[in-house]
């Protein structure tokens, strides 16, 4: 098995790479789609701003590549910004996103006295059984850092939800596409387990 990490210059990939090395997984980091043609699984991480990220993704041809792969049934795991821009539209910079899953991305309301971004450990309430959370207790904490949250159009895609002022979709699955708002690579033993579970698909 060869795992491809999509590199579109959005944040730092060191921790994702460290986690995969620790799990003894063969991976390559691809700065362009051609480099990940042969990969059996894709990880789509990212930290940063949606509009800039989408601009880079399009200019490098990642948008078409990712659509093709998902349609072809290649398992992909989105993380953080990668979890958000797979939806159709984001309030961040009023950006048209990849549209791999119907739905949109909204900003937390800081007027409600909420600290934005949400930074820290929060739990994921399982809405649906999924092998992504195999062996992970309900009270396991995951590390979140984000100012925006996802709202899928079809609630059937939601695997787990998290409460931060609003209850939002923190883990989703649509076909071969899985994605999580938290950082599994920074969520300790249970985060690593999420990665391992995904890599078993």
Partner 1 sequence: MLQKRIVVCLDVRNGKTTKGIRFRENKDIGDPVEMAEAYYRQGVDELVFYDITASAEKRSIMIDVVKKTAQKIFIPFCVGGGLASLDDICRVIDAGAEKVSLNSQAVKNPKLIEEGAARYGRQCMVLGVDALKDDRMPSGYRVVINGGRTQTDKDVLEWVKEAEDRGAGEVVLNSIDADGTCGGYEIRLTKTVSENVSIPVVASGGAGIPQHLTEVLTEGKADAALIASMVHYGTYTTAQIKAELAAAGVSVRLHW
Residue 39 a catalytic site member: no
Q: How far is CA 66 from CA 43, 104, 185, in A?
A: 11, 18, 22
Taking CB under 8 A as the criterion, the residue among 8, 62, 164, 182 binding partner 1 is 164
Closer residue to partner 1 in complex, CB, 123/176: 123
Least distance (Å) between residue 74 CB and partner 1:
25
The active-site residue out of 83, 104, 183, 196 is 183
> Are 169 and 151 spatial neighbours (Cβ–Cβ below 8 Å)?
yes
Calpha distance 90→191 (Å, rounded): 26
CA dihedral 174, 94, 33, 187 (to 10 degrees): -60
Taking CB under 8 A as the criterion, the residue among 25, 29, 35, 145 binding partner 1 is 145
Task: Indicate the SS3 state at residue 103.
Answer: strand
Q: By CB under 8 A, what part of segment 93-122 binds partner 1? A: 110, 114-122
Taking CB under 8 A as the criterion, the residue among 15, 56, 130, 176 binding partner 1 is 15
Report if residue 191 touches partner 1, rule: CB under 8 A. yes
Just list the catalytic residues: 80, 183, 185
């Amino acid at each position: 098995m060869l795992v491809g990490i999509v590199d579109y210059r959005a944040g730092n990939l060191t921790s994702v790479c460290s986690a995969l090395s620790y799990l003894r997984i063969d991976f390559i980091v691809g700065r362009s789609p051609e480099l990940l043609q042969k990969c059996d699984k894709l990880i789509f991480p990212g930290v940063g701003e949606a509009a800039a990220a989408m601009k880079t993704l399009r200019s490098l041809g990642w948008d078409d590549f990712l659509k093709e792969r998902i349609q072809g049934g290649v398992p992909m795991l989105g993380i953080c910004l990668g979890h958000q821009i797979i939806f159709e539209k984001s309030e961040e910079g009023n950006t048209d996103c990849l549209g791999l899953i119907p739905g949109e991305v909204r900003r937390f309301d800081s007027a409600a006295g909420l600290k934005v971004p949400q930074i820290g450990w929060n739990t994921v309430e399982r809405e649906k059984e999924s092998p992504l959370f195999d062996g992970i207790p309900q009270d396991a904490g995951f590390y979140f850092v984000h100012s925006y949250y996802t709202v899928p159009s079809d609630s059937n895609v939601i695997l787990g939800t998290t409460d931060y002022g609003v209850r939002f979709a923190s883990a989703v699955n649509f076909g071969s596409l899985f994605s999580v708002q938290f950082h599994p690579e920074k969520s300790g033993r249970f985060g690593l387990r999420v990665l391992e579970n995904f890599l078993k698909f």
